[in-house]
Structure 1
């Protein structure tokens, strides 16, 4: 029965995303919600100028509807569901505001970093309050070991760092057609498996809803993309995957399952530090996917390679958590 619920959730979310996309894409075009490409980016990306963005609303709608419908039918719409939707929708709204300012109001920088952080902090604070209400432990456990540490009051800043860091990491990764859609589907799929293995069925259902939504979106986001998810989608997905890891008490496992996002973020940090102190760049361009583009790889080759790396990270995480223990 539970397995059937997961399959139906996957199917419903995928179907909603696939059916909604052809309706919304022309609408976004008519509103002139087109992506403006940065001049400092790869020159090959200039031809993408005008491609509709803010397609993350498709992903959000599919996740919300399929989660609520299927959770109500096969399980229950409990506090965990609302907490996951709070983070997903909260971060998605921040991304939507950022996209709206950049695309509609023509302010290229969108929300300021301070405005965005304050919004993320507010959502993280509400999420943490929910954690205290359901009695989530403040203990961190090192994956595949019995080593643990109780963070106590430090767990709050840790949660904030996880949510903000993860949302920004996924946002940085969203630079090529289908890159985040594919890597997110793999990562959320891995968490769905771990959630199901540990009998957290409602979290598994939410995770599967995200997989269906991003796979449906990928039909129109694969190269050449007909629509971009924008910050609306990437911030929401980054926040959601961190929230899942926290609720499952697999916080540090996020580093492995989200390995692609971690590497992309590290490439930016390394590039900035290296240039600041030496005046030289380690990569031809950061985030890392642009380095490979400028090294002569086709966009599709970069995307598929990163999908494969994400898949290997996820397999390693599942092995560590399910089969090794």
Structure 2
């Protein structure tokens, strides 16, 4: 099987499996009464979504894992990508479980969530530093491949990149289909980047996630029949971090994943500005809620953010070429 066939098989298998699992898992979650609780301080238009099944990330996670194995087998890099995806997803699952089953609306406490994320991130970093073929090469936009020499700052820097990416993806999951659609474009772009630099197994994982997300989007698009929950959003951040790290392309995350970066930055600005002035910089954070408060329809925000991600991804690939 040639490499192009493997990539097509990965995306196709991911799509078929996720789209097949949707109608099986959604009724199960409904019977178990695993429904989303909507925050009262969020947009009032979202209150109608209360009770929509959540924790749906398990749909595309199963599709992603199975498609990766079908198309590429199990290598060390692919195994680490799966570990990072499922490890961060497990933190998200515990958060969702506490919210939905234990009825504690805020889920895991912030420090518990961060500790869990740091543990998974450290395993990924140690693997990267000791076993990855991409270390210490890093693809720098315009400059091409360069050797990274951060010395003692390497681990803290990578820790910030990984944990920051994971939480940025999590913050983007706030509208029907938003994080899913943005991730489809981002994982496609990183699949192309990985393949371009010879990391075929990493590219297979990336395209497997693209296909699995497309299958999930059928049920997550407005009006969503299911939400991915933190189970899905943290897992997506873990997958993206591992794919970008193991292909040496993580400098592209703020470019190709610019929407993720903007969503996280909007929260940082909002919190910092409020502490300094006791006023809000944005009408509401994360950024997608700001535009909703300005009167944009939810579906318009989603389409604009998708379009922005497509432009940013094409820009990232253009810079590379």
For Structure 1 versus Structure 2, the TM-score category normalised by the shorter chain is: over 0.9
Which residue in 2 is equivalent to 1:101? 98
The number of residues matched between the two structures is 318
**Shift in Å at residue 316 of structure 1?**
0.6
Q: Find the aligned partners of 2:20 and 2:308 in 1 and give their Cα distance.
A: 30
**Shift in Å at residue 256 of structure 1?**
0.4
**Shift in Å at residue 129 of structure 1?**
2.2
Write out aligned runs for 1:52-91 (5 A): 52-72=53-73, 77-91=74-88
TM-score (norm 1): 0.95
Which residue in 2 is equivalent to 1:173? 172
Question: Is the CA contact 1:223–1:300 (under 8 Å) kept in the aligned structure 2?
Answer: yes
1:215–1:141 CA distance, 2 compared to 1 (3 A): closer
Which residue in 1 is equivalent to 2:268? 269
| 1:206-253 Cα shifts (integer Å, max 9, x gaps) | 000000111110000000000000000000101111111111111211
| 1:76-133 Cα shifts (integer Å, max 9, x gaps) | x211011101100000111011000001100111111111111111111211221233
**Shift in Å at residue 199 of structure 1?**
1.8
Write out aligned runs for 1:143-222 (5 A): 143-145=141-143, 149-222=148-221
**Shift in Å at residue 152 of structure 1?**
2.0
Which residue in 2 is equivalent to 1:254? 253
- 1:252 aligns to what SS in structure 2? helix
Question: Is the CA contact 1:37–1:48 (under 8 Å) kept in the aligned structure 2?
Answer: yes
Question: Is the CA contact 2:169–2:260 (under 8 Å) kept in the aligned structure 1?
Answer: yes
Which residue in 1 is equivalent to 2:17? 16
Q: Find the aligned partners of 2:243 and 2:157 in 1 and give their Cα distance.
A: 15
- 1:50 aligns to what SS in structure 2? coil
Write out aligned runs for 1:229-308 (5 A): 229-308=228-307
Which of 108, 111, 126 is equivalent to 2:108? 111
Which residue in 1 is equivalent to 2:227? 228
Which residue in 2 is equivalent to 1:123? 120
| 1:152-194 Cα shifts (integer Å, max 9, x gaps) | 2321122211211111000000000000000000000000111
- Computed over aligned residues only, the root mean square deviation of the Cα atoms, in angstroms, reads 1.3
**Shift in Å at residue 139 of structure 1?**
5.6
TM-score (norm 2): 0.96
Which residue in 1 is equivalent to 2:131? 134
Which residue in 2 is equivalent to 1:35? 36
Question: Is the CA contact 1:124–1:163 (under 8 Å) kept in the aligned structure 2?
Answer: yes
Question: Is the CA contact 2:37–2:50 (under 8 Å) kept in the aligned structure 1?
Answer: yes
Q: Find the aligned partners of 2:109 and 2:137 in 1 and give their Cα distance.
A: 34
Where do 5+ consecutive residues of structure 2 fail to align?
none
Where do 5+ consecutive residues of structure 1 fail to align?
none
| 1:45-96 Cα shifts (integer Å, max 9, x gaps) | 0000000000001111111111112112xxxx21101110110000011101
Q: Find the aligned partners of 1:221 and 1:313 in 2 and give their Cα distance.
A: 23
Question: Is the CA contact 1:138–1:151 (under 8 Å) kept in the aligned structure 2?
Answer: no
Q: Find the aligned partners of 2:75 and 2:212 in 1 and give their Cα distance.
A: 21
Question: Is the CA contact 2:254–2:261 (under 8 Å) kept in the aligned structure 1?
Answer: yes
**Shift in Å at residue 141 of structure 1?**
5.3
Q: Find the aligned partners of 1:11 and 1:171 in 2 and give their Cα distance.
A: 26
**Shift in Å at residue 300 of structure 1?**
0.4
- 2:108 aligns to what SS in structure 1? coil
